[in-house]
Amino acid sequence: MQFTELGLKAELLRAVGEQGYDTPTPIQRQAIPAVLGGRDLMATAQTGTGKTAGFTLPILQRLTSGATDRLSRVAKAPRVLVLVPTRELAMQVEESVRTYGKYVPVTSTTVFGGVGINPQIAALRRGVDIVVATPGRLLDHVQQRTVNLSAIEILVLDEADRMLDMGFIRDIKRIIALLPKERQNLLFSATFSPDIRELAAGLLHDPQSVDVAPRNTAAETVNQRIIEVDREKKRDLLLHLFETRGWHQVLVFCRTKYGADALARKLDKAGVNAAAIHGDKTQGARTRALADFKAGKLVALVATDIAARGIDIDALPYVVNFELPNVAEDYVHRIGRTGRAGQEGEAISLVCHDERGNLKDIEKLIRRELPKEAVSGFEPSLHAQPRPAPQPRGGKPAPAGGKPRGAAPRPGGHPPQHRSGSRHR
Ligand code: AMP
């Protein structure tokens, strides 16, 4: 199937063509006609599936085709609201709006925390059609009466599962309550957990379901390896791997902000150009690090799960899990950063004795055992003492018989305790 068969107008097809895409991805094939037809949508899709174009393109078409009653709209008030979990994702989604909307008269802006509010107020006052926002800052604008949500025709919740993980459910509900009842709702989520089902049930009307990314899709296409090593030797092993394998453009995952900073410093000191990105970094520092990484000026980008979410880099050759995530599904998100679109990708996890439980959880989720090896000179000691895994404090209690998705950090809650005793995350 070609993009030209989806019923999109020439101006949009031209912008898509300029990106070099002629074949729609599976989610685009299913989502675009549904959204054009005005249906609500429940899509299970991860980053990397082309989901952003899957909702952006039909929204741009609806906004510019007279499919909605323009006369009834409140002057200058936004017509589309896209809620996302992170600033990075907000920037990337809005970038897509600009890219695909290059030849249609649609305006957009981002609204997220961590940067000055005044430029956002100015942009909203000038009037935009599409607002891409993180929930907290959007509510700041609501409170200050600097955004008018009474003309929203289409609501998109992007990476809804992650927004729930980050504790945004109340904010989301408050925002939804401010929107006109009559509207189209599109919900995108990497997983279809009970929480997401509940959210969908209260939000969507007769939705079309699209499920293109079973949770372990990436897990099947990426070459994954486990290197067993003692925790104390992980940093030296990682340096050794950089030195001996000629790695470039490696995304390295750490569990904590503190760990990410320390590792980036160590790599940098040893001559491997590296930077860390996480929630404590300023927006400018994050944007700079990401740009340097994309441009090849940085060899390694050391990230926490939340900060890495939504990073859009095509065909990343390597992902390294310096530490395994607490939540098995985060592993699938992490390795989904590599091996995209048929490219070769490699995901290497450095696993120490006390992470074996996490590894078991991951293997259970992806339904296969991962090959394990040791690197000469860094073999794990046979007598390594297991240490208790760090337990999240605060947040929801664990549901019986399962690990809580709530093990991810929650703004406003107590961060999980790192075993070094650091309060960083
Ligand atoms: P997303 O899942 O929206 O984060 O998109 C992942 C990547 O796929 C982005 O870099 C897009 O530019 C790219 N992409 C989107 N649609 C297509 C397509 N039809 N063919 C090839 N690449 C695409």
Instruction: Compute the distance between CA of residue 416 and CA of residue 376 in angstroms, rounded to an integer.
Output: 34
* Nearest residue (CA) to ligand 1, atom 19: 24
Amino acid at 19: Q
Q: How far is the CA of 241 from the centre of ligand 1 (A)?
A: 31
Q: How far is the CA of 271 from the centre of ligand 1 (A)?
A: 33
**Amino acid 317: pLDDT:** 82
Q: Is 312 in the pocket of ligand 1 (CB under 6 A)?
A: yes
Q: Is 363 exposed, middle or buried (0-12, 13-18, 19+ CB in 10 A)?
A: middle
Q: Is 103 in the pocket of ligand 1 (CB under 6 A)?
A: no
CB 283 within 8 Å of CB 250: no
Q: Which of 4, 312, 338 to mutate to test the pocket of ligand 1 (most atoms within 8 A of CB)?
A: 312
CB 360 within 8 Å of CB 392: no
**Amino acid 1: pLDDT:** 84
Q: What letter would DSSP give residue 192?
A: -
**Amino acid 77: pLDDT:** 94
CA-closest candidate to residue 277, choices 313, 295, 253, 247: 253
Q: Is 24 in the pocket of ligand 1 (CB under 6 A)?
A: yes
The closest-lying atom of ligand 1 relative to the alpha carbon of residue 21 is 20
Q: Give the CATH superfamily of 3-215+408-419.
A: P-loop containing nucleotide triphosphate hydrolases (3.40.50.300)
Instruction: Compute the distance between CA of residue 188 and CA of residue 177 in angstroms, rounded to an integer.
Output: 19
**Amino acid 391: pLDDT:** 43
Mutual angle of helices 87-100 and 10-18, in 10-degree steps: 120
**Amino acid 308: pLDDT:** 74
Q: Is 46 in the pocket of ligand 1 (CB under 6 A)?
A: no
Cα torsion at 315, 309, 302, 298 (round to 10°)? 40
Class of domain 222-366: alpha beta
**Amino acid 47: pLDDT:** 75
CATH 3.40.50.300 domain span(s) along the chain: 3-215+408-419, 222-366
CB 236 within 8 Å of CB 378: yes
Q: What letter would DSSP give residue 416?
A: P
Cross-strand partners of 276: 302
Residue 123, SS3 per DSSP: helix
Q: Is 49 in the pocket of ligand 1 (CB under 6 A)?
A: yes
* Nearest residue (CA) to ligand 1, atom 8: 50
Instruction: Compute the distance between CA of residue 15 and CA of residue 393 in angstroms, rounded to an integer.
Output: 47
In tens digits, the chain (425 residues) has pLDDT values of: 899 999 999 999 999 999 988 889 889 999 999 999 999 999 988 777 889 999 999 999 999 987 544 444 557 899 999 999 999 999 999 999 999 999 999 999 999 999 999 999 999 999 999 999 999 999 999 999 999 999 999 999 999 998 998 899 999 999 999 999 999 999 999 877 788 989 999 999 999 998 775 444 555 668 899 999 999 999 999 999 999 988 888 999 999 999 999 999 999 999 999 999 887 888 788 888 888 998 889 999 999 887 776 566 666 788 999 999 988 888 888 887 776 555 668 899 999 999 999 999 998 888 788 999 999 999 998 765 555 544 434 333 333 333 333 333 333 333 333 333 333 33
